Amino acid sequence: MGPYALALALDQVVRSPRARALGWVPAVRSITGNAARLFGEWRAGSAKAGADGDLG
C-alpha cells in the first residue's frame, strides 16, 4: 500500500473538546451504519453543485 492508502486504512479517533464546548455533537456515529444516508446527502450535494456550475 502507498502512503495515501495507509492513511485511509488507519483506525482514527478525533476528539474536539472545543467543538463540544460550543454545543456541537456529531450527527453520525458510524459511517458504515449510515452509508446509504451519507451517500444520498453526497449525491444531492453533487447534483446541486452541478446545477450551480460549481464542479470545480
23's grid cell: 454545543
pLDDT confidence bin for 10, thresholds 50/70/90: confident
Q: How far apart are CA 46 and CA 40, in angstroms?
A: 10
pTM to 2 decimal places: 0.45
pLDDT confidence bin for 36, thresholds 50/70/90: very high
Render pLDDT for 11-25 as a digit per residue (tens, 0 to 9): 777 788 898 899 988
Residue 5 backbone phi and psi in degrees, to 5:
-65, -40
Q: How far apart are CA 32 and CA 21, in angstroms?
A: 27
Instruction: Supply the mean pLDDT for the chain.
Output: 83
